[in-house]
């Protein structure tokens, strides 16, 4: 697996226009780099040998290639506020964190080795459109402070950044043991009081009969996604799914031009363990279905993972942070689908008024029915 030299990548992002030699930037929604000076489009061409998206054998890579690969040390900077790890362009000694806006300085940097991604989804949605999607999202928020809508009109910095992910494929075979519960009913007598007199009645009582079971379920998992970043709130990043992974493009540094790229903080082995946790949730659902009956108990499962492969890829998001009442809120926009997720403030005045209104409606309904009685 080729190592990803971040310093070299950033340098290569500043490609020259074939017409006027100005710096080129990738234009979202196209397959071209566009010159901001003369407007010339420079098409990104992918050679035939790089067209195929590579699936890498996980076991072979971890056992043989990972330890034998020559490591390339690259400079990274960790944000002291949110913990995000990013890189600075050559000859730049300071910048702002794309995740929270705090200033970064190269003196706080360290070194690390990065595996080069083999594929990515290029930016499809432009910055202006992403901002409009965010503003529409804010307008639909329930119980948001009224001042929030005017506050977001002043947001100027919306950063495009590629986020690292791992995906894993695996054939799984799971042997399990458990119990199947089947409902049956018996009739019982009971005594109750009606019109001041005791009467005997019967009713159906449900019971569960348990029987030991065991079996095997087989499942192929394709592209189990694991976020390789610790900088984003995971619940919001996960909510940006689904991604159109069927449209993955072979990695080219040209797509990174004009955007930031985050370094991964979850390595390929740790990512695989997280993928197994994700797969286990589906496996247990399959086991429950296979046991059948009315209720199920799972006592043990033993899963083998075969033909495990992985990909390292980059996915595009627009990200920004805004300060509201002295607190920072971050939001994300899926730069492929336009899905918006993020942190938001709440108006406790609006929530309190809503609760009081509900209580008033309930109280009014009770009074109405009592007055009619």
Question: What's the per-residue H, E or C state across 236-255?
Answer: HHHHCCCCCHHHCEECCHHH
Q: Is pLDDT at 286 greater than 50 in this prediction?
A: yes
Confidence label for 156 from pLDDT (cuts 50, 70 and 90): low
Query: What element of type H or E holds 345?
Result: none
Q: Is pLDDT at 179 greater than 80 in this prediction?
A: yes
pTM above 0.85, yes or no: no
Asked whether 231 and 81 are in contact (CB, 8 A), the reply is no
CA–CA separation, 192 and 203 (whole Å):
12
DSSP string of 173-208, one letter each residue: EEEEEEEEEEEEEEEEEEEEEETTEEEEEEEEEEEE
Would you give the DSSP letter of residue 266? S
Q: What is the pLDDT of residue 207?
A: 96
What tens digit of pLDDT does each residue of 356-371 get?
888 888 888 888 777 7
91: left (phi over 0), alpha (psi -120 to 50) or beta: left
| Residues in CB range of 361: below 8 A, 6 or more apart | none
Q: Is pLDDT at 13 greater than 80 in this prediction?
A: no
Q: Is pLDDT at 170 greater than 90 in this prediction?
A: yes
CA–CA separation, 39 and 259 (whole Å):
18
Coil, strand, or helix at residue 256?
helix
Q: What is the pLDDT of residue 323?
A: 73
| Range of lowest pLDDT (36-50, 72-86, 155-169, 317-331) | 72-86
What tens digit of pLDDT does each residue of 53-96 get?
889 999 998 888 776 543 434 456 677 666 666 655 543 444 66
For the chain, first and last CA: distance in Å? 80
**Who wins on pLDDT, 2 or 330?**
330
| Residues in CB range of 10: below 8 A, 6 or more apart | 87, 89, 90
| Range of lowest pLDDT (19-23, 114-118, 157-161) | 19-23
């Amino acid at each position: 697996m080729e190592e990803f030299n971040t310093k070299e990548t950033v340098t290569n992002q500043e490609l020259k226009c074939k017409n006027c030699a100005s710096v080129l930037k990738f234009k979202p929604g196209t397959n071209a780099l566009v010159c901001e000076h003369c407007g010339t489009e420079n098409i990104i061409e992918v050679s035939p040998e790089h067209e195929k998206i590579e699936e890498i054998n996980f076991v072979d890579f971890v056992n043989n290639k990972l330890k034998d690969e020559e490591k390339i040390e690259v400079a990274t900077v960790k944000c002291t506020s949110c913990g995000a790890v990013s890189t600075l362009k050559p000859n730049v000694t300071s910048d702002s964190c794309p995740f929270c806006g705090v200033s970064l300085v190269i003196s706080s940097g360290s070194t690390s080795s990065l595996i080069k991604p083999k594929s990515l989804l290029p930016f499809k949605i432009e910055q202006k459109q992403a901002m409009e999607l965010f503003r529409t999202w804010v307008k639909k928020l329930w119980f948001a402070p009224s001042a929030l809508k005017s506050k977001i009109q002043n947001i100027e910095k919306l950063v495009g950044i590629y986020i690292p992910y791992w995906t894993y494929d695996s054939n799984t075979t799971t042997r399990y043991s458990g119990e199947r519960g089947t409902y049956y009913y018996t009739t019982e007598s009971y005594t109750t009081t009606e019109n001041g007199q005791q009467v005997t009645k019967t009713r159906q009582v449900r019971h569960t009969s348990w029987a030991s079971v065991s079996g095997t379920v087989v499942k192929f998992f394709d592209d189990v996604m694991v976020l390789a970043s610790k900088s984003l709130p995971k619940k919001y990043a996960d909510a940006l799914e689904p991604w159109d992974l069927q449209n993955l493009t072979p990695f080219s540094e040209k797509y990174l031009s004009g955007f930031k790229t985050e370094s991964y903080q979850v390595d390929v082995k740790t990512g695989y363990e997280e993928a197994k946790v994700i797969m286990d949730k589906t496996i247990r659902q399959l086991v429950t279905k296979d046991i059948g009956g009315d209720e199920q108990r799972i006592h043990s499962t033993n899963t083998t993972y075969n033909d495990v492969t992985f990909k390292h890829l980059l996915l595009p998001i627009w990200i920004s942070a805004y300060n509201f009442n002295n607190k920072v809120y971050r939001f994300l926009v899926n730069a492929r689908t336009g899905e918006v997720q993020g942190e938001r403030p709440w108006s406790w005045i609006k929530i309190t008024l809503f609760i009081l209104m509900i209580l008033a409606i309930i109280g009014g309904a009770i009074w109405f029915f009592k007055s009619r009685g």
